[in-house]
Chains A and B, each alone.
Chain A
Amino acid sequence: MNREIAVVAFAQTDHRRTSEELSEVELLMPVLHDVLARTGLRTADLDFVCSGSSDYLAGRAFSFTLALDGVGAWPPISESHVEMDGAWALYEAWTKLRTGDADTALVYAYGKSSPGSLRDVLTRQLDPYYVAPLWPDSVALAALQAQALIDAGDTDEPALAAVAARNRENATANPHAQLRGPVPHGDHVVRPLRRGDCAPVGDGAAAVILAAGERARALTERPAWIRGIDHRVEAHGLGVRDLTDSPSTRLAAEHAGAFERPVDTAELHAPFTSQEIVLRKALRLGDGVRVNPSGGALAAHPVMAAGLIRIGEAAARIHRGASDRALAHATSGPCLQQNLVAVLEGDPR
């Protein structure tokens, strides 16, 4: 019998185009205080801590060490860090709780995109010998994917605009969102993608607390149980992938048990409208599923935290009774190269 593990608390910053007056630690601290306050736990009560962040965004080596100082790692804590989106930090914490070595875990993630040019920075993720020297930027690569979808007849520019409009309409109910309500769709950035098809560039942080079994029930009224979580990676070379599909998302969803019963909510990490089209198909999301009630990544996209926020938003809907079974998705790499799927459930009502 596997241990039951739940998201018991979630907090995030307001996401903004720039937070130049704040260090990463200053960005993160209010979120840590917030998420701990929701459970009454203190840092010293946590059995495990795991974070996700990127030195490349920070522009310096070992940037995560300063955040750790902010957490308050004294007396010393059991702690780890992934150089990935916080959703993968949550995965590491989940495995730790599954062993029984820990009953509670804090997971946090943060990213400031404002100090640099995110489009250029992300080119450094690419094959360093053959591709990165050409500096193909993240929007250009996403545009290749969008054009492939249009060529395949899976979507067209008006349909993409509708995806953007619906997400930002949803975001009107999200006080943390960076873009909400009617947002001009704008000119082409890289054809066929227009400004409105792209996630905003912004700064933000998020944190989640996980707890196992009875501990979860003691910490929150309605835990968001993680029924399954899995992640898969695809080949790096775009030339060997079918960009109109996301087999890694489908595989992760299968392993997370997403197809066993319908979900009522899905929070998708799709920084481009076209990627929501790909993900909906891979995840077989029907019209009855509420997709991105938070507004998704098109409303706020703090890189490194955006995936963790999808899990947090899905869990928060379960906490407040707005969802009974929700799917959360996170992505990493160009054109949805790596994908994580979690299925969350509340206790039956």
Chain B
Amino acid sequence: MSKEPVAVVGIGQTRHVAARRDVSIAGLVREAARRALDDAELTWADVDAVVIGKAPDFFEGVMMPELYLADALGAVGKPMLRVHTAGSVGGSTALVAATQVAARVHRTVLTVAFEKQSESNAMWGLSLPIPFQQPLLAGAGGFFAPHVRAYMRRSGAPDHIGALVAYKDRRNALKNPHAHLHEHDITLEKVQASPMLWDPIRYSETCPSSDGACAMVLTDRAGAARSPRPAAWLHGGAMRSEPTLFAGKDFVSPRAGRDCAADVYRQAGVTDPRRDIDAVEMYVPFSWYEPMWLENLGFAAEGEGWKLTEAGVTELDGDLPVNMSGGVLSTNPIGASGMIRFAEAALQVRGQAGEHQVGGARRVLGHAYGGGSQFFAMWLVGSAPPDA
């Protein structure tokens, strides 16, 4: 059973800011979709199907927003699917769209992910009282901080690693015109002097709350041949899920993440990720997740991830750049954040990442996770078709 090769030929993002008061939700998603189509030099009529994703409906207060957004996304008369897999949804959405092309169900698919967090309050959207269940501890930071502590204890990582990540990502964001946070006066000392929110996570080590959308045009081999710009080719993609809470769950390095990466590497023929992959866009909403995921994704041995960060390996000019775009730490429209990672990976292998381009990037990993570190979505894209 042969699959159709899948190519990314169009990428669009909105301007990401804390509150896009100049556009409706429909205006926001259309801005990203329009830019992706322009990049591919295609029109709405060239799109066979639309796959849309976002995090919980409570974030905007619109139930099943795909119904209302059908018109704005040119989906009328077409198939339209709405994916929701928590924080990993942007990645999962792109993978569902890719599957439709790979299965030869559709030839050209527009995939969009968004969050317009200013429409309501995400922290309280996540903190609804649920009977007989522990609360989410006032937003995501309260949930993840103990796992960061567990990582520090287990790996012996020194206290300053998280600040190094934040300092790097915020500097990378200065090179990305789409990034939400452009902190021109950022210094390592400023990160380290920022208020402690959820010990050991400081204010400057957390992601912002953004309005934004991301869109991609995925197509088949014939579509890629017509593309005016280089395509990014899908070499491997996978999703994995595990339960939220159970005895024996490893919150520092969840097995679902390891299994998901292993599946992607198997599909792509990657045997040594550190050598075979040129750069990584990973989902790091709290700075310490960079060293944690470096281990979970197989770029470093257990307990060794922080050493890559400390040695500057993950800097934009390092040996394995991580979050060249500035990452989730600089831009976080939650439902779109996973797709932005996937799209940034594709931009890199297309050589179109502008000032934050990694020279000669041929294979780049896009990574997303969500829930209580339980949902994972990843793809590996390359500058050459998978068979070549």
Contact = CB atoms under 8 A, between A and B. Distances in A.
A76 B81 contact: no
B239 interface: yes
A76 B83 contact: no
B362 to A, nearest CB: 24
B242 A234 contact: no
Contacts of B2: 100
A78 B1 contact: no
A122 interface: yes
B381 to A, nearest CB: 17
A62 B81 contact: no
B43 interface: no
Interface residues of B, number: 66
Interface stretch (B55-63, B157-165, B292-300, B336-344): B55-63
Interface in A50-91: 54-56, 59-62, 64-66, 68-69, 72-84, 88, 91
Interface string A116-135: 00000110111111001000
**Interface size range on A against B:** 35 or more
Contact of B84 (A64, A66, A96, A125): A64
A321 interface: no
Contacts of B3: 99-101
Nearest to B60: A128
B130 A60 contact: yes
B56 A62 contact: yes
Given A79-B241, A122-B63, A61 B1 contact: no
A127 B24 CA distance: 10
Given A73-B241, A77-B240, A82 B82 contact: yes
Contacts of A332: 64, 67
A283 to B, nearest CB: 17
Contacts of A78: 238-241, 263
A121 B64 CA distance: 11
Interface stretch (B72-80, B208-216, B225-233, B281-289): B72-80
A96 B81 contact: no
A282 interface: no
Nearest to A60: B128
Interface in A171-207: none
Interface string A92-117: 10011011110000000000000000
Contact of A61 (B24, B58, B243): B58
B102 interface: yes
Contacts of A96: 99, 103
A65 B244 contact: yes
B250 to A, nearest CB: 11
B240 A76 contact: yes
Contact of B259 (A76, A129, A338): A76
Contact of B68 (A80, A82, A126): A126
Contacts, number: 188
A262 interface: no
Contacts of B111: none
Interface string A285-321: 0000000000000000000000000000000000000
Contacts of B245: 69
A60 to B, nearest CB: 5
A128 B57 CA distance: 12
A241 B299 CA distance: 54
A62 B243 CA distance: 13
A81 B83 contact: yes
Contacts of B58: 55-56, 60-61
Given A236-B70, A333-B67, A83 B84 contact: yes
B313 interface: no
A80 B371 contact: no
Contact of A80 (B67, B239, B243, B260): B239
B100 interface: yes
Contact of A124 (B61, B76, B119, B256): B61
A68 B59 CA distance: 22
Nearest to A70: B243
Contact of B78 (A75, A233, A237): A233
23 contacts: A54-B64, A56-B64, A65-B244, A73-B256, A75-B255, A78-B240, A80-B239, A84-B81, A95-B99, A95-B100, A98-B105, A99-B103, A100-B2, A101-B3, A121-B63, A124-B57, A125-B64, A128-B61, A230-B79, A231-B81, A236-B68, A333-B64, A334-B67
Interface of A: 2-3, 49, 54-56, 59-62, 64-66, 68-69, 72-84, 88, 91-92, 95-96, 98-101, 121-122, 124-129, 132, 230-237, 247-248, 251, 332-334, 337-338
Closest 9 CB pairs of A and B: A100-B1, A98-B103, A76-B256, A61-B56, A83-B84, A124-B63, A79-B241, A56-B63, A333-B67
Given A78-B241, A92-B99, A125-B67, 13 more contacts: A61-B55, A61-B128, A74-B243, A78-B238, A79-B241, A80-B92, A96-B99, A98-B103, A98-B104, A124-B57, A126-B68, A236-B69, A237-B71
